[in-house]
């Protein structure tokens, strides 16, 4: 009987592939000289696929006739063609909830770093400027209005933290939630009321370029943008124009439209803080995410219900 093979598009989280190695053959695609040939040679044995953020489209699914599950290692799944998977009766899973706290923590970190000018302060000292001149003032969080785009688990956790800093919370989303914060059904109108606009919504076509020049214009010259959602939510060219022309005060970004490629124009802006998609990047959280990937694969290949399914109904 042929050995069941798992195609790993990315190295995965701590302990993830090591756990799967015990019972399955792992095809580590990034180690193959000719990835396409490696897939062809193993196609009939591949029953599961793992990915962190590497895309999985219909053409790859068609190349794997016995594929049963695509086990995503992130909470987001806009990099996986859910429709194509469902059409082919392939199960898709993700790793929800476990990264909520770390991602919300990063949101607060980015706010403080940007508004208190932490990165600028670090560079100021390293350049030897503190002995020559004073450092410019930043802004406090207390009393500011935070507009959250997407009051899901991460948005709610961010609101809880921001509330502890004395911020006023408002939010925008497709529907009103059972939360004690004012709701806006118009994003531009909310942006006009905010000092900080934080993005915590899902990616995908439904939110693509939700934040454009119009929204940024309403946020205004004293407003800050924080993105811990997906890069696709922001129309990146519009953001660059808004920052260059001082239409908004600044931005802190953990995600980008074409990761890991980040426009050089961001690098010379003092009013921008950049991090490399580290919302869930703690050892504790990534280890748990890896364990969830393993749990989903084992359940599927043992004929059991997967703990974390993603379907079109789920998305809608």
Any idea where the domains of the chain sit in the sequence? Answer: 5-96+284-315, 100-274
The reply to whether 100-274 shares the fold of 5-96+284-315 is: yes
Show the CA angle centred on residue 184, arms to residues 180 and 186, nearest 5°.
165
What CATH code is assigned to 5-96+284-315? Answer: 3.40.50.720
41 pLDDT exceeds 60?
yes
196 pLDDT exceeds 90?
yes
The gap between the terminal CA atoms of the chain, to the nearest Å, is 40
Q: Report residue 67 as tokens.
A: 């594929």
Percent of the chain clearing pLDDT 70 (strictly above): 98
Range 202-215 average pLDDT: 95
Range 175-196 average pLDDT: 98
Residues annotated as catalytic (active site), given as ranges: 230, 259, 277
What integer pLDDT is reported at residue 313 of this predicted model? Answer: 76
Q: Report residue 225 as tokens.
A: 């943008």
Range 202-224 average pLDDT: 96
Residue 76: which pLDDT band, with cuts at 50, 70 and 90? confident
Each residue of 273-282: pLDDT tens digit? Answer: 999 999 999 9
Nearest CA to 27 out of 36, 54, 65, 79 is that of: 36
What integer pLDDT is reported at residue 128 of this predicted model? Answer: 97
Residue 316: which pLDDT band, with cuts at 50, 70 and 90? low
Q: Report residue 229 as tokens.
A: 């959602």
What integer pLDDT is reported at residue 314 of this predicted model? Answer: 65
Rounded distance between C-alpha atoms, residue 83 and residue 59, angstroms = 13
Phi, psi of 6 (to 5 degrees): -110, 125
- State the chain's mean pLDDT as an integer: 96
Range 209-215 average pLDDT: 98
What integer pLDDT is reported at residue 1 of this predicted model? Answer: 47
189 pLDDT exceeds 90?
yes
What integer pLDDT is reported at residue 129 of this predicted model? Answer: 97
Coil, helix or strand at residue 51: strand
Nearest CA to 136 out of 152, 119, 150 is that of: 119
Percent of the chain clearing pLDDT 90 (strictly above): 95
Range 1-23 average pLDDT: 92
Q: How far is CA 89 from CA 6, 153, 244, in A?
A: 17, 29, 47
What CATH code is assigned to 100-274? Answer: 3.40.50.720
Count, residues in the chain: 316
Range 97-125 average pLDDT: 97
Coil, helix or strand at residue 177: coil
Rounded distance between C-alpha atoms, residue 133 and residue 195, angstroms = 29
Rounded distance between C-alpha atoms, residue 95 and residue 263, angstroms = 29
pTM reported for the whole predicted model:
0.91
Residues 18 and 50: beta-carbon distance below 8 Å: no
160 pLDDT exceeds 60?
yes
């Amino acid at each position: 009987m042929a050995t069941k093979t798992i195609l790993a598009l990315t190295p995965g989280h701590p302990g993830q592939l090591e756990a799967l190695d015990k019972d399955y053959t792992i095809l580590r695609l990034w180690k193959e000289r000719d990835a396409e040939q490696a897939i062809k040679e193993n196609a009939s044995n591949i029953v599961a696929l793992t990915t962190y953020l590497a895309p999985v489209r219909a053409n790859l699914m068609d190349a794997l006739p016995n594929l049963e599950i695509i086990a995503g290692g992130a909470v987001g799944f806009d990099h996986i063609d859910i429709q194509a998977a469902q059409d082919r009766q392939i199960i898709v899973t993700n790793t929800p909830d476990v990264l909520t706290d770390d991602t919300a923590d990063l949101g607060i970190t980015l706010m403080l770093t940007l508004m208190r000018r932490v990165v600028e302060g670090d560079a100021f000292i390293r350049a030897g400027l503190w002995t020559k001149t004073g450092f410019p003032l930043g802004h406090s969080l207390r009393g500011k209005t935070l507009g959250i785009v997407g009051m899901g688990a991460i948005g709610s956790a961010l609101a809880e933290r921001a509330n502890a800093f004395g911020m006023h919370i408002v939010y925008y989303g497709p529907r009103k939630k059972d939360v004690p914060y004012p709701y806006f059904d118009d994003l531009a109108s909310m942006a006009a009321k905010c000092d900080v606009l934080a993005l915590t919504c899902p990616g995908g076509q439904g939110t693509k370029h939700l934040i454009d020049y119009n929204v940024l214009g309403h946020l205004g010259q004293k407003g800050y943008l924080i993105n811990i959602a997906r890069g696709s939510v922001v129309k990146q060219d519009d953001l660059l124009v808004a920052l260059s022309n001082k239409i908004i005060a600044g931005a802190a970004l953990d995600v980008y439209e074409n990761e890991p490629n980040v426009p050089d124009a961001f690098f010379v802006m003092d009013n921008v803080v950049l991090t490399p998609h580290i919302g869930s990047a703690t050892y504790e959280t990534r280890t748990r995410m890896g364990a969830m990937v393993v749990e989903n694969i084992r359940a599927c290949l043992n004929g059991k219900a997967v703990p974390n399914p993603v379907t079109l109904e789920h998305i809608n």
